[in-house]
Structure 1
Amino acid sequence: MKYFTQISSTLVFRLMFVLVFILTSSLSYAALYKSVDEDGNVSYSQSPPKSGNYKTIKVKKFKPVAADAASKSLKAKESFAKGAKKREENDLVKAETQKNEKILKENCAISKKNLRLFTIFKRLKNEKGEYYRVSDTERAKRIAAAKENIKQFCK
């Protein structure tokens, strides 16, 4: 609720600012006067010159922007910012998913290799490079573990 109050107060402040700007900007349009002095220099001013010829220039008045248009623009910017944040989160999720799929494929390949090794060979090589014989019960346990890993990683 506190967050909602902060948003609405910010929105009210912005709308008030836009309205004040619109009302004061239409008052700033005054007549412009163009005059040429003795040297041929052209000057423009908001007040008529005291001497010499001058020409009044009409300034087009623009319709002020409605407050609805300003609030729509603000809402559009806010929704775009939210969308950008969601797109960024989706990109992170996709990257993490791809990384996990790659790890699953690697684990699947390792599990299949282990199953093949344990079913074909009764002798294995340790870290020192020495061969040793695996008992039938140990071999059966490793084959069962490899099959379980294949079920888990190879989907």
Structure 2
Amino acid sequence: MLALIQHPEQLAKLQAAPSLIPTAVEEFLRWASPVYHFRRTATRNVELGDKQAKEGDKVFIWYASGNRDEKVFDNPYDFDVTRADNDHVTFGKGSPHLCLGNLLARTEIRIMFEELIPRLSGIRLAGDVPRVRSTFVNGIKKFPVEVGPV
């Protein structure tokens, strides 16, 4: 929701074409991954780009970096609810970890926006949006908003 408040033209697109909401869900997930990073242990020697990881090395996956990869996404620093080719890494990628709750999370987000967006004639921040103090979780502690009449 914060992304839509910060990008009202994207909210207007969803209000004009609610059929975009499933596509928008993937963009919400790419734009604001709920987890910053994950640590893994290399199970064998591997080269990633120009970097070497030896078996046993600890490596970090930074989701925001992967979700802004210019080799994967056109205009990765733009929030675009119409982004069709959205191969984000928010829930991991296959093996060894793909978040088991990914389908539930996607469904909850989709239903929330399907119900909320048609009811919003206007929404704006009504104060500061303090973040959760964490190096692992990307969260909001308080989200004060003012909503206009339907």
Q: TM-score range by the shorter chain?
A: under 0.3
Structure 1 length-normalised TM: 0.22
Greater helix fraction, Structure 1 or Structure 2: 1
Structure 2 length-normalised TM: 0.22
